[in-house]
Amino acid sequence: MSLRKKVNLIIYRFRESGLEVFFVNNQKANTLNFPQGELAEQSPEDYITLDPVREEASGEQEEAFAVEGDWHEIPSLKTMLYQDAKQLKDKLKDMELGAFVSIKDALKDALPHQYAFLKELKDILRDRNSLRDL
């Protein structure tokens, strides 16, 4: 049994325009995705655990965690992604091309399973009275 599992990591931040989420630009597939990686079975305390969602195309159940911050400010994310540099070389290139987008734009352009993750994250943050200008 593996102590690590593959998950989506939703990085969010608050700006003057409101809530933004980070997407990775996969130029080969011409899609926007959340960063993915392996995470220990016990998630860090500051991560928000989101409900699993079934991905329509593959039928696989995907898990996601959310964390507040910027890509360049999250050492744990960098450590997670750099653990297997050879395998992740292309992903890291895509990460550098990624960008934060407003939650409204993210919800509009998200795939169905991504939409479910983002909607839940927005609801959780609203319940924590953290959101403004959504």
0.85 exceeded by pTM: no
Per the structure, the complete domain to which residue 67 belongs is given by: 4-127
In this predicted structure, what is the pLDDT of residue 127? 84
What CATH code is carried by the domain that includes residue 16?
A: 3.90.79.10
Return the structure tokens found at 29.
């597939």
In a domain, 132, yes or no: no
pLDDT tens figures, 21-67: 998 877 777 788 888 877 665 556 778 989 999 888 888 888 898 98
In a domain, 90, yes or no: yes
pLDDT tens figures, 72-129: 666 666 665 555 555 556 666 677 778 888 999 999 888 888 999 999 999 998 888 6
Q: Is the CB of residue 101 less than 8 Å from the CB of residue 20?
A: yes
* Angle at alpha carbon of residue 22, lines to 68 and 101, rounded to 5°: 110
Number of domains the chain is built from:
1
In a domain, 49, yes or no: yes
